[in-house]
Amino acid sequence: MAETNNTKNIGLRGVKVADTRISDVDGTHGILIYRGYPIEELAEHSTYEETAFLLLHDAMPTVTELREFSESLRSARPLPDFVIAILRALPRGTSPMDVLQAAVPLLAADDPDLADDSREANHRKAVRLIARMASVVSAWHRIRSGQALLPPDNDLSHAGNFLWQLTGKKPDRETAKDLDTALILHADHSFNASTFACRAVVSTRAHMYAAVAAGVGALSGSLHGGANAAVMIMLEALKNEKDIPAWVRQQLDGGKKIMGMGHAVYKTTDPRANFLKDMGKRIGEQLGQEQWHRLSTEIEETAIAEFLKRGKTTIKPNVDFYSAPVYHMMGIPHDLMTPIFAIARIAGWTAHIIEEKFGDAQGKPALYRPSSDYVGNYCGKIRCSYESVEKRK
């Protein structure tokens, strides 16, 4: 007989599985911090490179440390020739997230530190992955589009260089900064599904690349990173809708979701969404695409009002709701929105992998090994007995 367990079948929500020094989410008050720093301050003042260093090293870099870290990222940008050859051999219709997940083990084969599991070697692996995840996404998009690959521009930031290698156009300073800010906002989020997948895999003493491949797979799901593309598909389908409130009510009356609304942790507005909402409004005004902000705001306000009528007071926009139109106005295709999430989150993933490997998270066994209650078939008896196929009816 299975024991009663009031923590099962809830998707581990509210179940604390380890300590971490990396980030914290206060869902009740809408607070997100990285290594003690509020996300609002980092988004306003930091850069993605500096934030990645903070996540990996538990301290803000000095001028010299930041320069050396940025130089290491730049030097790691080029992809190995064999990886590019394999990308060229893939069917052009392959999902970018599948390509990214497949590329991670290929990058492992080129890492000179793969067999070295020291903390220092894992930091070097993290730098290579942060640099090359962006390179894989931009390279795949150009390959599938029949365009020539572009060399990295080492005068550009991590975000700026990605836009250059993706589009073939040098981004203006403001656009590069906007993407940089978006990457900061997505860089970590405590024990979300993909980060937990990374930590669970590396708890077996697998190497960093194996864990990251698992994280990419988890992020690809529509309930995790894949939600941002779904939001933009929704917005485009509604751009000519005359009665948004009626559409919202119809969705809710039919038991359907409004993509980008609600979060597993936040009971108030996702603090990252506030930044992206303001960013989207400003970019829309600059580009003459104000319709996306108007549409998103109308959906948000109507949905919140309808949720309140239905007694659901905690459903607010999440990071996907406003990141989707921001990326769209940057010219980023829908199916690259989740890969960009991965380009940002790799900083957090690798920081968690290093923490899991080296015991910064105290008070847990080395290996994640949850248990379950068996509720399956007993053949109407104490246990099933094997019969040959000829005797089965």
Q: Domain range for residue 192?
A: 23-221+336-358
In a domain, 106, yes or no: yes
Do 249 and 192 sit in the same domain of this protein?
A: no
Do 108 and 34 sit in the same domain of this protein?
A: yes
Q: Report the amino acid identity of residue 51.
A: T
Do 170 and 234 sit in the same domain of this protein?
A: no
Give bridge partners of residue 261 from the DSSP assignment: 317
CA dist., res. 347 & res. 344, Å (int): 6
Residue 142 near residue 169 (C-beta atoms within 8 A):
no
In total, how many domains does the chain have?
A: 2
Do 174 and 43 sit in the same domain of this protein?
A: yes
Do 245 and 214 sit in the same domain of this protein?
A: no
Do 254 and 193 sit in the same domain of this protein?
A: no
Do 270 and 156 sit in the same domain of this protein?
A: no
Cα 329–chain centre separation: 20
Chunk the chain into consecutive blocks of 10 residues (it has 393) and report each block's average pLDDT, rounded to whole numbers.
59 85 89 95 97 98 98 98 98 98 98 97 98 98 98 98 97 96 96 96 97 97 85 93 94 89 73 92 96 94 88 79 93 95 98 90 76 80 84 84
Do 232 and 311 sit in the same domain of this protein?
A: yes
Predicted confidence at residue 138, as pLDDT, reads 98
Do 231 and 213 sit in the same domain of this protein?
A: no
Name the 3-class secondary structure at 203.
coil
Active site residues: 224, 263, 320
Predicted confidence at residue 4, as pLDDT, reads 46
In a domain, 6, yes or no: no
Predicted confidence at residue 264, as pLDDT, reads 63
Helices and strands: H and E segment counts in the chain: 16, 3
Count CB-CB contacts under 10 A for residue 196.
Answer: 19
CA dist., res. 15 & res. 340, Å (int): 29
Cα separation values, 257 from 30, 248, 307, 309, Å: 22, 9, 12, 16
In a domain, 377, yes or no: no
Helix axes 81-89, 96-109, angle to 10 degrees: 150
